[in-house]
Structure 1
Amino acid sequence: MELTTVWFVLIAVLWTGYFVLEGFDFGVGILLPFLGRDEADRRTIVRSIGPVWDGNEVWLLVAGGATFAAFPEWYATLFSGFYLPLFLILLALIMRGVALEYRNKSDSTKGWDRAFFWGSLGPALLWGVAFTNIVRGVPLDADHEYTGTLFTLLNPVALLGGVATLLLFTQHGAVFLALRTTGDLRARAVRAARLLAPVTILVGLAFLLVVRSGAVSWAALALAVAGLAGTLVATLIGRDGWAFTASAVAIVAVTATLFTSLWPNVMPALDPANSLTVINAASSPYTLTVMTWVAAIFTPLVLIYQGWTYWIFRRRLTGAF
């Protein structure tokens, strides 16, 4: 297998891990004002992701670093053309992180809870907008520079993608809270998951039908629908672990649909002659070889450590300190 293909797949895996893990963080933040009836509930909701949320964000940092090192042309075009949306995502992530760190150190938590909510909702929406544009294609010139505007990115299909990821992550957060809490809070999380599931299935299916291309994408689309349906069924019968697993499978399949539809491009242009591909956007073979050895050594260590973290904090939360 070509090293360019290996790194395209690895970057897809990194984004998949980020969306699966950070996805429920976003969902928890979005659901905070709706499920947290009092400070004890809200504190428990925040505690549910307290030990893991910052580790989940590492997947984004590694995905960005891998893109810069393996496909520098892709990185340059993406971060220059999508500068404002990506800046807004970064600002929201900073605001969310500050809120999580400081809400327990303040006499009043209302402002921090609002920051947590908007800092979660913004990225959940904007990641869908960004990736839909990447898959569908954007205006690039012969030098691979973006020639559109912000409003070019805010097209109807991209906004549909944003709503789809927003719903998908919110439902993922609901089933995560059902898995991690007990009592009335868990019951409210289950009800939220049941209400969100049908809408998420409909919007997600419409979005995937628009962006998918190729036989592999059809298979990924079918798996995504099966995962969403499995989430609903498992939630209805009270199997929280299976519901969360099915929700994670759906996110994996949605991300696979996006990346398989993208291949062999990394940044399609409206004029195919100007598209960035895994060939013309890649680093030198020597760079890719060195990176492959580094990834082979350190990736398993990171996965083992993060898996251990989740195992240590696996118990349900019964109340706030």
Structure 2
Amino acid sequence: MKSARIPFTGTPWTLAYGGVLLGGDSPLLPVKVDGLAAMPDVKSHDLELVNYDGLLPGRDYMRGRVVSITFRVMADDSEHLDLLMGEVAAAFTHSRNEQPFSFCLPGVAQGAWAQVAGRVRKRETSIDETYGQFHPLVDVQLECTEPWIRAVRPIRKELAPSTDFKRGGYRFGRHRALRMPLRIPRDGGWGPPRTALLTNGSMDTAALRAEIRGPVEGPVLVFKEASQVVGRMGVERWPDGTPFRLTAGERLVLDVPVTGPPALTHYADGASAGTTVAPTLTQWARAEAGRTVEVSIEQSKTSYDGSASGFVEWQPGRFV
């Protein structure tokens, strides 16, 4: 007999409130959710003009957010239905205090683990033929005094500079005879980099964190906006002028706060404590609200030893 009291872990297409899980492995299956992908109603303060056309624009404010959820209870028998409906009644009940409603829905808050806080103002179930089959539909309405959707966990995108290494060489015939012309590819070296699109769809500038893992020489994060380079952040050389290299297992971590200067930290192979490194490229790029940039790893020297990898992640703020 499966219970709906399952911890919420941020799995896509799941929701949670009052200790019960909707979706995923839960016997409570969401059917419809309204109010999360929509902007709340606006309180307009425009003023009427006397003897003029139009209005005098005033400042707009948002009202609270109303979230409506319809889910189906998937019970096996009457005893299981008693258990699940009891858990539903305990979770979605009257309260004087708002509780967090957690969810992870692709396209809402950019698919991040997000929350709104609200109180239950409605819970409705019809006793019909589906109820008699132990699969009733439940309608719940949450009213949230604050309109904002807030991301709880950061959004992460993986990075890698290339997918293959193209070697130059000769073209031999079927019997190993040397034939002209000699085929030496002009595009030898690392192939095109794999990039990640960083989009901050929230209303606030986001804190940004990136990591580059070796092997790589002269690791640099390149940020492009509309095909134009808007940021180059990394370390090409040590202070004494020698090339900066990351061997396999080493990593370089870049932290760009919402305000203030970014920081670069070098972690040696297996080390838990890092060492601050002075950057040699300081064209900083921040994850500003509404901004979309293309991020990639650039290295100053290629080799046959392998390629760097890493990730970029950002913590968005408030969504509407």
TM-score bucket of the superposed structures, by smaller chain:
under 0.3
TM-score for both structures, normalised by structure 1: 0.22
Q: Which has the higher contact order (CA 8 A, sep 6+)?
A: 1
TM-score for both structures, normalised by structure 2: 0.22
Q: Quick check: which has more Rg, 1 or 2?
A: 2
Higher strand share: 2
